[in-house]
Structure 1
Amino acid sequence: MSHRTLIRTKSAAALALTAGLLLAPVPSIAAAAPTTVVAPAAVDHSLHLTGAPNARDLGGYTTTDGKTVRSGLVLRSDALNALTADDLAKLVQLNVKTVEDLRTGYEQALEKDKIPAGATVYHRDVFGGSGDPLAIVDLGRAYKFMASDPAAYAAFKAVLLDIKNSPDPVLYHCTSGKDRTGFLSAVLLTILGVPRETVNEDFMLSNEYLAGEGGGSSVTGSIQSNTVEQAWLDSAFATANEKFGSFDNYVSQGLGLTSQDIADLKAKLLS
Structure 2
Amino acid sequence: MTEVRRSLGLAGAPNVRDMGGLPAGGGTVREGLLYRAPALGRLTDQDVTRLGRCGLTDLLDLRHGSEIDVAPPDRLPAGPQVAHIPIFDPAHPVFTYVSAVLLGHDLSAFVDLGTEGTPGAMLSIYRWFVSSPAARAGFATAMQRITDATGPMLYHCSAGKDRTGWLSAILLSALGADRDTIRADYLLTNEVSAAGNEAILAAMASRRGVDPELVRPVFVAAPEYLDEAFAEADREYGSMDAYLRVGLGLDEMALARLRGRLLGPAR
Paired with 1:100 and 1:175, the residues of 2 have a C-alpha distance of 12
Q: CA deviation at 1:91?
A: 1.7
Q: CA deviation at 1:115?
A: 2.3
RMSD: 2.3
Q: CA deviation at 1:223?
A: 9.5
Paired with 2:150 and 2:135, the residues of 1 have a C-alpha distance of 25
Q: Do residues 87 (structure 1) and 47 (structure 2) align?
A: yes
Instruction: Pick one of 249, 259, 262 that aligns with 2:252.
Output: 259
Q: Hey, what does 1:228 align to over in structure 2?
A: 221
Change (3 A) 1:64 1:269: closer
Change (3 A) 1:158 1:41: same
Q: CA deviation at 1:185?
A: 0.3
**Cα contact 1:45–1:56 (8 A) shared by 2:** yes
Change (3 A) 1:80 1:131: farther
Q: CA deviation at 1:103?
A: 1.1
**Cα contact 2:14–2:192 (8 A) shared by 1:** yes
Q: How does 1:12-91 map to 2 (within 5 A)?
A: 44-65=5-26, 67-91=27-51
Q: Hey, what does 1:134 align to over in structure 2?
A: 96
**Cα contact 1:105–1:129 (8 A) shared by 2:** no
Q: Hey, what does 2:80 align to over in structure 1?
A: 119
Three-state SS of the structure 1 residue aligned to 2:35 is strand
Paired with 1:223 and 1:192, the residues of 2 have a C-alpha distance of 32
Change (3 A) 1:224 1:99: farther
Q: Hey, what does 1:8 align to over in structure 2?
A: none
Tell me, which stretches of 5 or more residues in structure 2 are unaligned?
99-117, 205-209
**Cα contact 2:136–2:247 (8 A) shared by 1:** yes
Q: CA deviation at 1:87?
A: 1.2
Q: Hey, what does 2:261 align to over in structure 1?
A: 268
Paired with 1:262 and 1:225, the residues of 2 have a C-alpha distance of 32
Q: Hey, what does 2:61 align to over in structure 1?
A: 101
Q: CA deviation at 1:199?
A: 0.6
CA deviation digits over 1:53-79, x for unaligned, max 9? 1110111011252x1110111100011
Change (3 A) 1:88 1:128: same
Q: Do residues 152 (structure 1) and 135 (structure 2) align?
A: yes
Q: Hey, what does 1:161 align to over in structure 2?
A: 144
Letter paired with 1:231: E
Change (3 A) 1:224 1:125: farther
Q: CA deviation at 1:129?
A: 7.2
CA deviation digits over 1:75-105, x for unaligned, max 9? 0001101011111112221011211111111
Paired with 2:163 and 2:36, the residues of 1 have a C-alpha distance of 10
Q: How many residues align?
A: 231
Paired with 2:45 and 2:54, the residues of 1 have a C-alpha distance of 14
Three-state SS of the structure 1 residue aligned to 2:23 is coil
Change (3 A) 1:129 1:44: same
Letter paired with 2:46: D
- Percent of paired sites with the same residue: 38
Tell me, which stretches of 5 or more residues in structure 1 are unaligned?
1-39
Name the TM-score, length of structure 1 as normaliser: 0.79
